[in-house]
Structure 1
């Protein structure tokens, strides 16, 4: 990838919410289908120990599409290249996601991994992408309260956007941390969606290339069933 050609615009992020509306509409229906497919897959794994390949590929495609939109939009602001409308991997797009198909899955784990085993991750992710910070003020009498919540990820992306607006640069440490959070969330999403029995690691793989990436990309192969999300280093401003 040519970093200069992919240099982020200082102000495009101000209107990305508008540009993303078509994707949001499509993803709404895709995630409804994702949920239905997940339920069907649950019973298929429980009975046969296998995730039907066609259903698996569809759900990976939904995660992949969501990751591209997330990376382009307010989950990272990592690129100004508009996300393609496809479930398939796009080799020349700067963000990738893949989950290696597992030949067998545990019938017992399928009953508990998406809720019980994932509780520690849910608690951590709630800080990253949930209402991690609560701001509240009282004005006038005690019955008048205004409150708002913002996640840690949203706050960091907001800071990155403001720095980008005024300097034209995306701070590398900030980008690395945001990408690490996104990878953590995607690994948990793949695990709780029953796509792998491999328990997600408690770590931020910040910046660079995900150590569990697909061998088609410039990195080492992923372990069996391990989800991997990759993205390039942050673009530099054009000269």
Structure 2
């Protein structure tokens, strides 16, 4: 591989910080996003049903049916736009569109369609090979700050995951300064990018093993150039 022309990653997560951002809108975004949450609830049920169908298709044909692939990527893309708008990033105040397709929204997700997928990997990658990543993501999304309760007794306490703590810091910064700390935004994007790479791998959308790397910034580090 030519280091001057890095390979295009199969999973590409984009999130462009869409400043200026409102100082207070983040307080009510959870209400504004309720229509999206309702639609996504049913879309994710369909997502996992489609993934089961795709599992059998890959096992027997080595192919992920293109129409099903586009649907599952679309559900992930829709989810990412809503998360970018709300409390996984707070990166924009533009209301997310109700569509599975790509738009000019500041957040986007692309996954390269694989012409062939391994029959052997489909049997193990979603549960066995991905375990190390699940452990890392569990630490990133479950560890954090514990609120309430005694030191030795967490009954009645609330744990804010690390990503929630980071976004909360960004929200407070917005409230008092009107600015999103750029270094913090890059780290938030890195955590989200890691999550979606692992999700794409475990959902059988790619055979490319996710890197153990926190790629920070609004876009993937590899340039979109031909190999």
TM-score (norm 2): 0.87
Aligned to 1:228: none
Greater fraction helix = 2
**Alignment partner of 2:127: what SS?**
coil
Aligned to 1:99: 111
Q: Does 2:168 match 1:158?
A: yes
CA contact (8 A) 2:74 2:100 kept: yes
Q: CA RMSD in A?
A: 2.2
Counterparts of 1:183 and 1:169 in 2: how far apart (Å)? 22
Deviation digits for residues 113-150 of structure 1 (CA, Å, limit 9, x no counterpart)? 001100110011011122444456339xx999432212
Aligned to 2:120: 108
CA contact (8 A) 1:42 1:110 kept: yes
| 5+ long unaligned stretches in structure 2 | 1-15
**TM-aligned CA distance change 1:182 to 1:221, over 3 Å:** farther
**Which segments of structure 1 move beyond 6 Å, counting only runs of 4 or more?**
none
**Alignment partner of 1:149: what SS?**
strand
Aligned length: 212
**RCO comparison, higher one (Cα < 8 Å, 6+):** 2
Deviation digits for residues 64-87 of structure 1 (CA, Å, limit 9, x no counterpart)? 000100100000000000000000
**TM-aligned CA distance change 1:100 to 1:44, over 3 Å:** same
Aligned to 2:5: none
| 5+ long unaligned stretches in structure 1 | 213-218, 224-239
TM-score (norm 1): 0.83
Counterparts of 1:4 and 1:116 in 2: how far apart (Å)? 35
